[in-house]
Structure formats: C-alpha cells, structure tokens
Amino acid sequence: MRTRRGVCYPKVNMCIENRLVVKRRKDISGIGEHMGRRKRSKLSPEFTAHKPDLFDSLPDDLLLSILCKLSSSAASPADFINVLITCKRLNGLGHHSLVLSKASPKMLAVKAQNWSESAHRFLKQCADAGNVDACYTLGMIRFYCLQNRGSGASLMAKAAISSHAPSLYSLAVIQFNGSGGSKNDKDLRAGVALCARAAFLGHIDALRELGHCLQDGYGVKQNIVEGRRFLVQANARELATVLSTTPSALTSGGWLTWNPLPHHRHPVAGTGCPLLSDFGCNVPAPESHPANRFLTEWFSSEGGVPGSGLRLCSHVGCGRPETRRHEFRRCSVCGTVNYCSRACQALDWKMRHKAECTPVERWIDEEGENDGNVNGENGFGNGDDDDQIMMES
C-alpha cells in the first residue's frame, strides 16, 4: 500500500513475524547454551575424576599377613571361600603358598558329599605349599577312599617327617595291619617306633597303643609295668584334654558322677570316685580328626561296606576300612565288632561296647568260617584289663 507521495507502508505482520522468529532463535540458542553447560558440568573434573581406593593402596605383604591369620583361624572352608570371592585381588593373594601353608585343619575339613576335582585340587595345592594337615588329610583320602596306596602313604610320610603326630600314628596302624599289602607285610617294630614318636608328641591314641604293645609284648619286649604306666598317662591326658576344651565341665560337675555299669557294681576301696572314663564318668568322646570324619561319611554313603568281604573299624570316630579280608581283629568275647588298633578298641569299649558285649561260645563269619579266636592274633580282649589297671592305680 502506497501513500500519496508514493512511499510504501511497512508490513506490520511481517515485522511481527520477524521479531517472533528472532525471539525464538534467541530462546533456542539460550536453551542450547544451557544444555551445553549441563553437559560440560557432567564432564567436569569435579565429578569424573577417579578417586583412588584405600584398599588398592594397601601393600600385598599386609594383606598376606591378614589372610594367613584368617586361614589359620577359619572354622570352616566357607569362612575362607567367602573372603576369596570378595574381589579379584583377594582371590589371587588367597592362593599364595604362604597363605595355604597356614591353613587350619578345620579349614581343610572337606565333606565327603562335597568331594570334587576342585576340592582335590585345593588340598593338593595346600599340600604342595607345605601344609602338614593337608598332606595328612589328602593322604588318608587317597590311601583309603581313592585306593591310591602309594601316593597316600607318601603324603602321610611327608607330614610325618615334619613331626605331625596323627600322620605318625596312621602310619603305625598301617604297619601293624600291613594295610595295602599282604599279612606278611606287617612290620611290628616299625609300628611301635612310630607310636613312640607320636606319643612323645602328645598323641593320646598313640600313647594308649604303645601301652598295650608293651603290656602284651606286641612288637616290643614285654614290660607290663611300663605298659600300665603309659595307659594311666593316656587316660589322664584324655581327661585333661576334655577339661581344657570344655571349661564349663569344671563348674557343672556332671562329668564327676560315677555311674558304673552292672558288671562293675562292686565296692571300691577308698572314698570318692575315680576321675576317668573307664569307670563310667561322663567324659565325652574326643572329637575326631576331619580326615577320620571324611572316611566315615565316605563309606556311610556306600552303605557302610568298603568292599566285598571287607569291614570298617567299629569305633565311630575312626572310619578306617580293611584293605584285605580279615585285616582287622575282632572282639574275642562277642565277635560282633572289629577294630584297626587297640586304641580304637579301648575307646569304643569305654564309650559303647562295654554295655553291649556278651560272650558267645564261638562266632562264624559271613561265609561260615571261624574268624579269629580268643587267644590268637585275630582276637581283642574285652577291655577289662584297662579297668583293672585304673583300679590298681
């Protein structure tokens, strides 16, 4: 539209639209700048800088010392495994030979139902690291369960060289019975020597076995007085062990109660009651080694039969099986139980068999053959000699 002078009027709508477009552009640019600032704030060093973890700054020597204390005091394998799965660094340091060499017997207490190649490999790593308990546990498993006699015996011998008392006693039992070989492979002198070494290191069962050997002249020159002295010491050590592991027994007094069995209900000279389990005191059974518990669980899962015509030691805390027929000796009175050693016979007599043993004229094995006799090598006494020893002491 033109004026009289021919000048065109400005287009109002166009101006308004231009202003709106410019305003929108400013708004969009403002939003873009604001969004840019947000992005820059996210990428700022204040938020993105990596803060070093204090755990990563700890030296490996300190962590190894902590893991060594943990492995030596772990109450079960799960306690140690839960630490290893925490992070990759602990998992790597946990397999260090120094840590594995300090592992306690409870940390190595593998259950038979959880036995696998990984468990076998872990015990082998601990044994290679110089852990004597791992050598003994894996040696017992290989010798009796996996029937790898040579490897199992060598592992137990490796632990025995390091003065491991349970390994010395287990090797003594193998020598007494000729386990893994024939009856002619028995070496009674070697068994007595191993028992003496284990007894010197404080092994109660070895001391009890040595006392019976001296009293019976089994593998050593007979010395009844010295044998009885060792048997008294074994019972005293057993009682001291119970009191040291369960201090509550000192205050409860229940273990002092004398409850003699029917065939022992006769007057006793002197006042008071004996303080040993031979006369019915409520002394609990000693805790068996994890290796013996593994043997018990292993053969229990197979129906309690280690093989055709083979038997298990009747002492519940042992678990040792026969490696050949008639390897273990039966009770010479009832013939229903058999034991790998006199120590197991004495313990089972006090804890269980004393109340069950009933004399019979003769006993026949499964195939109808007479298995053992009262005075022969295959027969064990009924345990009354231990009671008489304690009565005289």
**DSSP character string of 166-228:** HHHHHHHHHHHHTTTS-GGG--HHHHHHHHHHHHHTT-HHHHHHHHHHHHHTSSS---HHHHH
Among 139-148, 276-285, 324-333, name the one with the lowest average pLDDT.
276-285
Is 177 a residue whose pLDDT tops 50? yes
The pLDDT of residue 380: 59
Report residue 41's pLDDT band, with 50, 70 and 90 as the boundaries.
Answer: very low
At residue 2, does pLDDT exceed 90? no
Q: What pLDDT does residue 42 have?
A: 46
Question: In whole angstroms, what is the distance from residue 90 CA to residue 102 CA?
Answer: 16
Say what the pLDDT of residue 352 is.
Answer: 82
Inside any domain, residue 318: yes
| 74 within a domain of the structure (yes/no) | no
Type of residue at 114: N
Whether residue 172 is contained in a domain is answered as: no
State what percent of residues in the chain have pLDDT above 90: 33
Q: Are 212 and 173 in contact (CB under 8 A)?
A: no
Task: Compute the distance between CA of residue 165 and CA of residue 159 in angstroms, rounded to an integer.
Answer: 9
Domain annotation covers residue 270: no
Given pLDDT bands bounded at 50, 70 and 90, which one contains residue 238? Answer: confident
In this structure, are residues 198 and 174 in contact, taking their beta carbons and an 8 Å threshold?
no
Max mean pLDDT among 81-95, 195-209, 229-243, 379-393 falls in 195-209
Q: Considering the chain, what is the average pLDDT of its residues?
A: 76
In this structure, is residue 348 part of a structural domain? yes
pTM over 0.75: no
**Domain count within the chain:** 1
Confidence class for position 373, pLDDT limits 50, 70, 90? very low
Residues 229-252: what's their mean pLDDT?
A: 75
What's the rounded mean pLDDT across residues 131-157? 93
Report the pLDDT value the prediction gives residue 371, as an integer from 0 to 100: 46
HSE at residue 5, side-chain half, CA atoms within 13 A, is 2
pLDDT recorded at residue 101: 92
- pLDDT for 32 beyond 60: no
Q: What is the pLDDT of residues 253-278, one digit of tens each?
A: 555 444 444 444 444 443 333 444 44
Q: What is the mean pLDDT of residues 280-303?
A: 79
Domain span at residue 351 reads 290-355
Structure tokens at 116: 């696998």
Q: Which 3 state secondary structure label does DSSP give 23?
A: helix
**Residue 186 domain-assigned?**
no
Q: What is the reported pLDDT for 8?
A: 62
Write down the H helix ranges in the chain: 12-42, 45-48, 60-73, 77-84, 88-94, 97-101, 117-128, 132-140, 149-161, 165-177, 188-200, 204-216, 224-245, 248-252, 290-300, 342-351, 384-392
Residue 208 identity = R
Q: Which residue has the higher pLDDT, 79 or 367?
A: 79
Q: Is 322 part of a structural domain of the chain? A: yes
pLDDT for residue 31 is more than 70: no
pLDDT of 182 > 90? The answer is: no
Whether pLDDT at 78 is above 60: yes
- Model confidence band, residue 252 (pLDDT cutoffs 50, 70, 90): low
Residue 3 has pLDDT above 70, yes or no: no
CA distance 1 to 9: 6
pLDDT > 90? residue 330: no
Does 10 or 107 have the greater pLDDT score?
Answer: 107
Label residue 6 by pLDDT band (50, 70, 90).
low
**Beta carbons within 10 angstroms of residue 110's beta carbon:** 22
What pLDDT score was predicted for residue 167? 95
Check residue 355 and report its DSSP letter: G
What's the burial of 137, exposed, middle or buried (CB within 10 Å: 0-12/13-18/19+)? buried
How far apart CA 136 and CA 168 sit, in angstroms, is 10
Query: Is the separation of the CB atoms in 194 and 210 below 8 Å?
Result: no
Average pLDDT over residues 145-168: 93
Does any domain span residue 88? no
- According to the model, what pLDDT value does residue 376 have? 38
Which pairs from 306-309 meet CB under 8 Å and 24+ separation? 306/144, 309/366, 309/367
- 374 vs 355 pLDDT, higher one: 355
CA distance 47 to 182: 77
Residue 357 has pLDDT above 70, yes or no: yes
Over residues 79-121, the pLDDT tens digits come to 888 888 888 888 889 889 999 999 988 888 888 898 999 999 9
Q: What is the pLDDT of residue 50?
A: 55
pLDDT attached to residue 305: 74
